Amino acid sequence: MNLTPTQHKRLFLLLRISIICILAVAFFLLAFEEGIQAYLTPKQLTDNPNLCQKSSCRLGALVKLGSLELLHPTRVRFIAEEAENSKQSLIVEYQGVLPNLFKPGKYMLAEGKIEQGVFKAQRILAKHDEYYRSN
Amino acid sequence: MSAQASLLHFVVSPQSFLSTVLRYEYRLTILAYTIISCALYYGLFKAPVDTTQGEVYRIIYIHVPLALLSLLIYCLLGACSILTCVWSLKSSDICATACSVLGSMITLLTLITGSIWAKPTWGTWWFWDARLTSECVLLCMYVSFLCMRFASTNQKACMFNSAVIGCVGLINIPIVHYSVNWWYTLHQGSSILHFAKPTMPADMLYPLLGSILGFSILSAVLLLQTMQRIYTTRQTIPAPHGKSAA
């Protein structure tokens, strides 16, 4: 391809700018990785509980099958686990309305703080996967 | 006409290319609406109910085609912007401008349909996770391209500056697509745009593919119509300073 000197100059300027931009964005995303993550896992919280004691954080986990109990008509307690039957788990307490898709055996996302070893959730969201099933 | 020849045809003479293609305007529009209505009919009434989400999952037949197109149209916008930056082509500038008009609308609709889907499933209208935030950034890129393109009467500067924005925004495309793999997000992973088996049974998948095809044809027609409109506007309205546009 024949490029005039101006076009040649512009093409290489564009290449240089794009390399710089890609690097800048990559470093930015790597540096802010923790902020970009939507939640922490039970493993991260059990290893390092002070992540979530002073300020609130978000926990994403599986609701352990058979662990959901009603403490009061609007107050629930359940066990959030890393994966099915894993040892890394946390007790979560929540007062409020649960989303429709919140079910034992499914993923959920809780926002709150750890108080005396219990995750006190202020808000609970349901997380669903990308699989669609018909009966 | 081969793809290369038609591309060259477009670059050399946008007007004759557009009028050649737009001869099929009505037929293509009718085809697009037929495919979309068939796909939506099968998707909304015939496809089986999802066991986890229930009936609400059916918004996938609108949300996914729009989300896919919001990315595809930006890819086209970015490619045109590179051409504009280096070769100062008038036709690529017209194409990129038309892409930004259509793309910003489609991205906005993606965010709106996504919100409508999120409320009954996740339990919130909006959540700042990586996928939603990067899609929001995509909308900002489209809108800033559009604003920059019509920022002043100095056509040449507008054309070049907006093309730079278009090139820079290309970085966001892989981030939107891979955000669900790179980070923990509330948004689910890809259902069809990945190198693995689709994550749904065939009777859910085919209406979705049909819907994607229909919406793609419709956007192509809308894109060509917008390009034609921009082209004629630039021909009829004399550019300021006595120079022809770009």
pLDDT tens readout for residues B184-202: 999 998 888 778 888 899 9
Interface list for chain A against chain B, based on CB atoms closer than 8 Å: 3, 7, 10-11, 14, 17-18, 21-22, 25, 29, 33, 36-39, 41, 60, 98-102, 106, 109, 124-135
- Given a contact cutoff of 8 angstroms between Cβ atoms, the answer to whether B228 and B22 are in contact is yes
- Taking CA–CA distances from A109, the nearest residue in chain B reads B186
Q: Does A85 have pLDDT greater than 50?
A: yes
Mean pLDDT in residue range A74-97: 89
Q: What mean pLDDT is predicted for residues A83-111?
A: 90
pLDDT number for residue B141 = 97
Query: What's the Cα-to-Cα distance from B93 to each of A5, B9, B76, B81, B167, rounded to whole Å?
Result: 21, 16, 11, 7, 12
d(CA B69, CA B193): 12
Rounded CA-CA distance B68/B138 in Å is 12
The answer to whether A106 contacts B52, with C-beta atoms less than 8 Å apart, is yes
A46-55, A108-117, B98-107, B128-137 — which is least confidently predicted?
A: A46-55
pLDDT bin (cut points 50, 70, 90) of residue B245 is very low
What pLDDT, on the 0 to 100 scale, is given for residue B193?
78
Which residues on chain A are in Cβ contact (under 8 Å) with B203? 134
- Mean pLDDT for A46-60 is 88
SS3 readout for B40-106: HHHHHHHCCCECCCEHHHHHHHHHHHHHHHHHHHHHHHHHHHHHHHHHCCHHHHHHHHHHHHHHHHH
What residues of B are in contact with residue A20 (Cβ under 8 Å)?
none
ipTM score above 0.85: yes
Size of interface A-B (CB pairs under 8 A): 108
Residue B204 near residue B188, CB atoms below 8 Å: no
**pTM score of the predicted model:** 0.90
Alpha-carbon distance B24 to A79, whole Å? 61
- Which helix or strand (DSSP H or E) is residue A6 part of? helix A5-31
In angstroms, how far is CA B66 from the centroid of its own chain? Answer: 7
In this structure, the strands spanning A57-63 and A69-72 are unpaired
* Structure token digits, residue B184: 């923990």
Interface contact flag, A130 B191, Cβ < 8 Å? yes
| CA nearest neighbour of B206 among B218, B194, B220, B192 | B192
Contact B77, B148 (CB under 8 A): no
* Residue A87 confidence class, pLDDT cut points 50, 70, 90: confident
* Contact at CB, B86 and A33, closer than 8 angstroms: no
**Residue B55, number of CB atoms within 10 A of its CB:** 10
